[in-house]
Amino acid sequence: MRGRRGRGTAKQLGSFFSGSAWAWDEATGQYYLHLFHKKQPDLNWDNPDVRAAVYRMMNWWLDRGVDGFRMDVINLISKDPGLPDGVVYPGRAWGDGFPHFSQGPHLHEYLAEMRREVFDGRAGTMTVGECPGVRRDNVLLFTDPARRELDMVFQFDHVDLGLEAGKFHPRPLRPGELADCLSAWREAQGEVGWNSLYLDNHDQPRAVSRFGDESHRYESATALATALHMLRGTPYVYQGEELGMTNGAFHGLDDFRDVEALRYYREAVAAGRAPRPSWWACVRSAATTRARPSSGTRASTPASRRGPVDWRHPELSGDQRRLPGRRSLFRVRLLSRARGRAPRPAG
Q: What residues act catalytically?
A: 72, 130
Which element (helix H / strand E) includes 173?
A: none
Check if the beta carbon of residue 181 is closer than 8 Å to that of residue 211: no
Nearest to 240 by CA among 248, 250, 228, 252: 248
Which element (helix H / strand E) includes 23?
A: strand 22-25
First-to-last CA distance in the chain? 31
Pairing of strands 196-197, 68-71: unpaired
User: What residues contact 5, with CB distance under 8 A and at least 6 apart?
Assistant: 29, 30
Check if the beta carbon of residue 161 is closer than 8 Å to that of residue 201: no
Which element (helix H / strand E) includes 202?
A: none
1 vs 77, 111, 209, CA distance in Å? Answer: 11, 19, 39
The DSSP 8-state label assigned to residue 228 in this structure reads H
Nearest to 130 by CA among 154, 110, 150, 112: 154
Nearest to 271 by CA among 113, 94, 111, 110: 94
Question: Nearest-5° angle of CA 118, CA 123, CA 129?
Answer: 55
Alpha carbon distance 284, 249 (integer Å): 9
Which element (helix H / strand E) includes 152?
A: strand 152-154
